[in-house]
Structure 1
Amino acid sequence: MSTTATVVTIVAAVLVGFSAVSVFLRTKWVVEPLADYGVPQGWWNWLGAAKAAGAAGLLVGLFVPVIGLIAAVCTVLYFTGAVITVIRARSYAHVPFPMIYAAPVVAALALGYPA
C-alpha cells in the first residue's frame, strides 16, 4: 500500500470516528438534523456504532486488507444511505455533510486501499 493510501485511510478513519463520537455525545449540530430528518432516536446509538465499526475496520484494514475493504465498502454504503435520508427529508443544503465523511473513504478505495 502506498504512503498516500495509508494517510488517506487514516484521515478517513479519523473523520468517520469523529462522526461516530458526535452521535454518541449527542452533539447539537448532529442530533437536531437527525430529528428533523425523522430518524428515530432509538436508532442513534446503532448509527454511531456502525460509524465506529467502520472507522475501526478502516484502521484494522491497514494490517488485514480484507477487513479494510469490507469496512470501506460498508462505510460508503452507510453514507450513501445518509445522503438518501437527507434528500428524502428535503434538506438539500445538508447533502454535502455526509459526502464530506464518505469522500476520503472513496479516495482511499480509489488509491488502491487495501492492497
Structure 2
Amino acid sequence: MSAATIIVIVITVVMNTAVVIGDIVQAKFVIANSREVGVPDAWLPALAVLKGAGAAGLVVGLAGLPLIGILAASGLTLFYLTALIAHVRARVFHSIAFPTLFFAFALGSLVLLLAA
C-alpha cells in the first residue's frame, strides 16, 4: 500500500470520526445543517453509526483486510453522494463544500484501495 493511500485513508478516517462525534453530541452546526437539508434529528444517531462503521472499515482495510476497506470506502462514497444530493435538492449551497470534501476523500480512498 502506497504512502499516498495510507495518508488519504487516515485523513478520511479522522474526518469521519470527527463528524461522528459531532453527530453523537448533537453539535449545533450538525443539527442546523441537517434541518436545513431536511434530515430529521432522529436520524442523526443512525447516520453516526453509518459514518463510524465506514471509518472503522477503513481502519480494518489498512490493517490487512483490503476488501473490508474497499466496502467501507464504497459505503462512505455513496453516503456522501446522497448528502450532496440532499443539499442540491434543498438548494442549500452555502454549506455544500463540507459534503463535497467528505465525498472527495471517500472516493479518493476507494480509488486508491482499488488501485492497490
TM value normalised by structure 2: 0.91
Distance, in Å, in 2 between the alignment partners of 1:89 and 1:45 is: 22
Q: Which runs of 5+ in 2 are unaligned?
A: none
Q: Does 1:74 align with 2:94?
A: no
Q: Which piece of structure 1 moves more, 75-84 or 31-40?
A: 31-40
Residue in 1 that maps onto 2:34: 34
Residue in 2 that maps onto 1:106: 107
Q: How high is the sequence identity, in percent, across the aligned residues?
A: 33
Deviation at 1:56, TM superposition (A): 0.5
Q: Does 1:2 align with 2:2?
A: yes
CA contact (8 A) 1:54 1:71 kept: yes
Residue 114 to residue 12, structure 1, CA distance change in 2 (3 Å): farther
Residue 85 to residue 29, structure 1, CA distance change in 2 (3 Å): same
Residue in 2 that maps onto 1:97: 98
Deviation at 1:57, TM superposition (A): 0.6
Aligned-residue RMSD, C-alpha: 1.4
CA contact (8 A) 1:20 1:48 kept: yes
The C-alpha deviation readout for 1:39-87, integer Å capped at 9, x for no partner, is 1121110011100001101111112000000000000000000011111
SS in 1 for 2:94: helix
Q: Which runs of 5+ in 1 are unaligned?
A: none
The C-alpha deviation readout for 1:92-112, integer Å capped at 9, x for no partner, is 122211011122222223334
Structure 1 residues 17-32: aligned runs within 5 Å: 17-32=17-32
Q: Does 1:51 align with 2:51?
A: yes
Q: What is the number of residues matched between the two proteins? A: 115
Distance, in Å, in 1 between the alignment partners of 2:79 and 2:113 is: 20
